[in-house]
Amino acid sequence: MEMIAETPEVPYYAVIFTSVKNEEDHGYSETAAKLVAKAQKQEGFLGLESARNELGITVSYWKDLESIEKWKNDIDHISAIELGKEKFYKNFRVRIAKVEVELGKKD
Amino acid sequence: MEMIAETPEVPYYAVIFTSVKNEEDHGYSETAAKLVAKAQKQEGFLGLESARNELGITVSYWKDLESIEKWKNDIDHISAIELGKEKFYKNFRVRIAKVEVELGKKD
């Protein structure tokens, strides 16, 4: 996952998930890996970028709001969100944004 | 900078900067620190979140496209972008997105 996502022409959507983890793992890594693998198979999924120090940032890219809404209601996703709230994260924030401009690129 | 940004009610804008650095530093850390300090003083700046492993993700939040445009044309920023293209980064991508929804939050 340590790659820059090859997203298509704008517009498309980004889900910016920012989090600070609790110190104990509580099975976080396994749940996260499973969830990413499932997200990648969803219709409308365009890519994912992730990095973590004390703060973790995961940006997933989606074709439209409909595909985000569908993934939001996936049963495994819902269960992971609950685990996230209760166990994994000290705090987090999820922002949904419409990518309108690609300003610069080097590859 | 290792904090979740306290952004206001939607809508506002996010600049998602994703990068893979070159192995040599070329003064990157110093330039980045100066640039972040200057960005924070710009009109319309709302917050910044940053994390880096192999992949680096920096999301800065802005009031509107006008404030992003103004920062884009800042002379120190332009010079840092040039350094970024020539020296700091193996590859990068910049996406400008309108944050429309705040889906979840824990703090």
In this predicted structure, the answer to whether residue A3 has a pLDDT above a threshold of 50 is yes
> How many Å apart are CA B86 and CA B80, to the nearest integer?
10
Q: Give the position of tokens 């492993």.
A: B53
Phi-psi region of B62 (alpha: psi -120 to 50; beta: other; left: phi over 0): beta
Helices (H), A1-107: 28-39, 65-72, 75-83
Calculate the CA A8 to chain-centre distance.
17
Q: What is the tens place of the pLDDT at every residue in A7-60?
A: 999 999 999 999 999 998 889 999 999 999 999 999 999 999 999 999 999 999
Place A105 in a pLDDT band, splitting at 50, 70 and 90.
confident
pLDDT for A51-104, tens place per residue? Answer: 999 999 999 999 999 999 999 999 999 999 999 999 999 999 999 999 999 987
Write down how long chain A is: 107
Q: Considering only CA atoms, which of A81, A65, A76 is closest in space to residue A12?
A: A65
Would the CB atoms of B100 and A97 count as touching at under 8 Å?
A: yes
Q: Which residue has the tokens 């970024």?
A: B84
Residue B69, C-beta contacts closer than 8 angstroms, at least 6 positions apart: none
10-residue mean pLDDT profile of chain B (107 residues): values are 86 97 91 95 97 96 97 94 93 96 79
Yes or no: say if B45 and B67 are a contact pair by the CB < 8 Å rule.
yes
The model's pTM is: 0.94
Q: How far apart are CA A83 and CA B2, in angstroms?
A: 23
Query: What pLDDT, on the 0 to 100 scale, is given for residue B1?
Result: 45
Q: Look-up: residue for tokens 């600049």? A: B15
Q: A49–B57: do the CB atoms touch at under 8 Å? A: yes
What pLDDT score was predicted for residue B2? 59
Going from the N-terminus, what domains does chain B have, and what CATH number goes with each? 12-99 (3.30.70.100)
The interface predicted TM-score of the complex, written ipTM, equals: 0.94
A72: left (phi over 0), alpha (psi -120 to 50) or beta: alpha
Please tell me the distance from the alpha carbon of residue B11 to that of residue A30, in angstroms, as a whole number. 34
Do the chains contact at A92 and B56, CB–CB below 8 Å? no
Contacts of A64 in chain B (CB under 8 A): none
User: Percentages helix, strand, coil for chain A, rounded to the nearest 5?
Assistant: 30, 40, 25
Smallest CA–CA distance, residue A107 to chain B, in Å, is 5
Contact call for B53 and A54, based on CB within 8 A = no
Q: Chain B closest CA to A33's CA: distance in Å?
A: 17
